[in-house]
Amino acid sequence: MQNSSFIKELAKGCRTVEDVQEKLKGLFKDNEIVIIENLMNLHLLGDDLFTFCALPLKHMAADGSPVRAIALLHE
């Protein structure tokens, strides 16, 4: 499927940007794709590659959690 047709199909029945966001989150969850959002100060990492680690808090019967986000810089 081409990108434009995928976006049109995804947006069917959505009236707002929030509707599209919720639909995407559901699609990601159904396919076990983790969403990491609201990271700050990423500009401090520069342009080099790094390893990203997200260490979540353990919450029973939860589908999300705050994380301690860590960037391991390589030399």
Which 3-state string (H, E, C) describes 13-47?
Answer: CCCCHHHHHHHHHHHHHHCCCCCCCCCCCHHHHCC
Question: What three-state secondary structure class fits 52?
Answer: strand
pLDDT value of residue 19: 81
Give the tens place of pLDDT for each residue, 4-18. 676 677 777 777 778
In the chain, what are the domain boundaries?
Answer: 1-35, 37-75
pLDDT value of residue 3: 60
pLDDT value of residue 2: 59
pTM: 0.58
